[in-house]
Amino acid sequence: MSVARETARPSPLGQLWALLFPTRCLGCGRRGAAVCGRCEAMIPWLNRETCHRCAAPSPLGRLCQRCKAAPTALDGLRAACTFDGIVRQAIHNLKYRQARSLAGLASSLLADSLVERPLQADLLVPVPLAAGRRRERGYNQAELIAACLSRSIDVPTAAAALERVRETPPQVGLSAPERRRNVRGAFACSAEALVAGRRVIVLDDVATTGATLAACADALKTAGAARVYGLVVARGS
Ligand SMILES: [Zn+2]
Ligand SMILES: [Zn+2]
C-alpha cells in the first residue's frame, strides 16, 4: 500500500461530458463556475456554535449532551456547511448525477473552513463505499473530494487504508443508536504501518449523527492511529 497523491484529471468521457454539459452555477444556472460570484452568499456555512465532537448545534461550541453521555472513537468532527440549498444540490449531483467535477467545489468548501479552524493531520482517508455501490456509481465521491483536498492542504491521501468488511443497510430513517448499531464493525483497517501513531482525517460528503465516521475511527484506532477526526462537507439533520 502506498500513500498516493491521486490526480483528478477527468477521463476522456469526463472531458466529453464537460463539453456537452458545461458547468453551470448551482444557484442561478449561469455558465461558468459551480457557484458564481453572485451566488456565493447562498453557501450555507455552518456557524461555530457546534459541538466539536459531533458538529451538532451546541451553544458556544460546547460538548453536547449526547457526546458527554456516549463518547465515540472520533476525536472531533468538522463540517463546512449545513446540508441545505446549493450544497445539498452539489452533493446530490456529485453522488447521483455523475457530476464528478463538483468534488472540486466540495474540496474548496472544506479547505476554506479549515483556514478558519485548522485541523492538524498526517493523513486523509476517505470513507469507503460498499463495493456494490461503488461499481454502480463508478467512483467513490469521498475519494474524489479527498484527492482534491489532499493537493490543496498538502496532506497525503490513503484511499485504501479503510475497507468495508460488511454491507450495511442505508442509514436513512434510523435513530442515532440504530445508526451506531447498523455500522458497528463495518470497517477494518489493515494498514497499520500507514496509520500507527498518525493523526488521521476521515473524510465523507455528509454526516448526520457521525455514526459512520465513528465506526471508521474505531477501525483506525484499533490499527494504532493516534487521533482520528471526521471531516465532512455538510452536516445533515
Ligand atoms: Zn449563480
Ligand atoms: Zn456532540
Summarised one tens digit per residue, pLDDT across range 182-212 is 899 999 998 999 999 999 999 999 999 899 9
**Count of domains for the chain:** 2
Residue 123 sits in a domain whose CATH number is 3.40.50.2020
CA of 18 to the centre of ligand 2 (A): 40
**pLDDT digits 0-9 by tens, 203-236:** 999 999 899 999 999 999 999 999 999 999 999 9
Clarify whether residues 23 and 109 are in a common domain. no
Judge whether 3 lies within some domain.
no
- Same-domain check for residues 33 and 145: no
Q: Are residues 50 and 25 in the same domain?
A: no
Same domain for 129 and 165, yes or no, is: yes
One-letter amino acid of 21: F
Domain with 129 in it: 46-235
- Considering the domain architecture, whether residues 213 and 144 belong to the same structural domain is answered as yes
Residue 129: inside a domain, yes or no? yes
Q: Is residue 2 assigned to a domain?
A: no
Note the pLDDT of residue 197: 98
* Cell numbers that stand for 234 in this block: 455538510
pLDDT over 80 at 150, yes or no: yes
Measured in Å, residue 44 CA sits from the centre of ligand 1 at 14
Does pLDDT of 77 surpass 70?
yes
d(CA 84, CA 235): 9
Residue 7 domain flag: no
Residue 6 counted as domain residue:
no
Residues, Cβ < 5 Å to ion ligand 2: 51, 53-54, 64, 67
The grid coordinates of residue 166 equal 460488511
- Read off the pLDDT of each residue in 111-131 and give the average, rounded to a whole number: 93
- Strand residues in the chain grouped as ranges (E): 76-82, 123-126, 162-164, 187-189, 199-207, 227-235
What's the confidence (pLDDT) of residue 3? 32
**Cα(68)–Cα(52) distance, integer angstroms:** 12
CA 66 to ligand 2 center in whole angstroms = 6
pLDDT in tens, 5-21: 333 456 777 677 667 77
Cα 116 to averaged position of ligand 2 atoms, centre (Å): 20
How many A from CA of 19 to the centre of ligand 1?
20
In a domain, 89, yes or no: yes
Backbone angles phi, psi at 125, to 5 degrees: -125, 115
Using alpha carbons, list the distances in angstroms from residue 103 to 67, 146, 166, 187: 30, 8, 26, 23
Examine the domain organization and report whether 53 and 33 are in the same domain.
no
> Is the Cα dihedral 179, 184, 189, 192 positive or negative?
positive
Taking 50 as the threshold, does the pLDDT of residue 68 lie above it? yes
Among all bound ligands, the one having the nearest atom to the CA of 37 is 1
Compute the average pLDDT of residues 118-147.
94
Span 85-97, average pLDDT:
95
Instruction: Quote the ligand 2 centre to 75 CA distance (angstroms).
Output: 11
68 in the same domain as 24: no
pLDDT given at position 5: 32
- Whether 137 is in a domain gets the answer yes
